[in-house]
Each structure stands twice: as structure tokens, then as C-alpha cells.
Structure 1
Amino acid sequence: MSEEKDLDLQAILKRAEQESVFPDVPLDEFAPPGYDEWKEACIALLKGAPFEKKMYTDTYEGITFSLMYFRRDTEEILPKIPSPAWMIFCVVLRQTAISRRLGGLPRHVT
């Protein structure tokens, strides 16, 4: 039975790779879950394991990492306007990507 399912899945994947026209899918069909709804779903999936212990990790330096960050968690620390250093980084990153695609740029092209 498992082999039949694998073969069916492989056939579906092969057809999907050959498909080039896809139907429009409305992305507003479902409302995004709020934090409380998300937390309830996590607690249910953890099957009794403590949420705080599984979802957060403390480092030796006293920094707490979360498995999930929301916009409200980062509003205070994100810059309100892009910094020049970030813009320079983006330009360099873009040039590097283009260079790799072209097989490298001559030295005089920057």
C-alpha cells in the first residue's frame, strides 16, 4: 500500500513540475491567526510539555531566544529609516549575486 502511495505522489509531483499555468489563489481566504490562537495550537501540539520551556531558549549571556517572533516584538529595535550601511550592504550583495550569475565580472567593472 505504501508503494502505491509513493508512486501516486511521484506521478502528482511530475505533473506539477510540467504545469506552467496555475489558478489564482485568494490569499485573504483565511484570517492570519493571532498570538493567542497560535499559542493554543502550540500547547496542543506540545502534548503536555511546558510551553515556556520548549518555545524559549536562554543563553549563558542571559539572552532569550524565541522560536517565533512577531512584528510587535521587533517594533522597538528595528530602525525607522534604512541606515546607509544597510543600503551599501544591499548594493554589494546585489553586485555579488550578479557577478556570480555572469561567471565573474572583470576587475575594472565595479
Structure 2
Amino acid sequence: MTAELFGIDIAQGGAVALLAIVVVMVLTGRLVPRRTYDDLLEERNTWRTAHTVSEEARRLEREQVGELLELSRTADRVLTALPHPAHREEVEAHDPMEAAP
């Protein structure tokens, strides 16, 4: 009494069934050659390193933008606090195009 699977004697079809399973796994992408796996692993590590470097650069950029924003706020407050000229109305009324020949 030999076990049958779908009407096929397992003992007789063992090597053929194993080969068929391996071929199906390769064709469906569940079984890949070691070289392909190593290439994919190396590519993944390369992208991971690139992402880490990129994120570090973005962090430094955010810090620098924060510092520049604070400096611009300080400069705005200083310029706003400066006294206005006494003859401001005369300066605004003067049109520089009128003086041109």
C-alpha cells in the first residue's frame, strides 16, 4: 500500500515531483539564485545608506533654516526699531523720475 496524491504514486514520482516543485518556485519568484539574492541585498544596503545620508543632510538643513529665520526676525526687529527720518513726507513725495533729464 503506497500513498497516492491526486492519483499519482508518491514513491514513483518523488524526484520528478521535487523537480517540478523547484521549477514552479523559481518561476513564481519564491526561490531565487544566491547571486540574485546577494545582489538584491547589496542594492538594499546601498539605498539604506543613501537614505541615512539624505536624512542627515535634511536634519542639518532644518537646523540652519531655523537659525536663519531667527536671525531674520532679529534683523526685522532692529530695522523696525530704528527712528524714522524727520522729513519722511518730503522723501515719499519726491519722485526720482522727475529729476531725470
> What band does the TM-score fall into relative to the shorter chain?
under 0.3
Relative to its length, the structure with more helix (as a share) is: 2
TM-score by length of 2: 0.21
- TM-score w.r.t. structure 1 length? 0.20
Larger Rg: 2
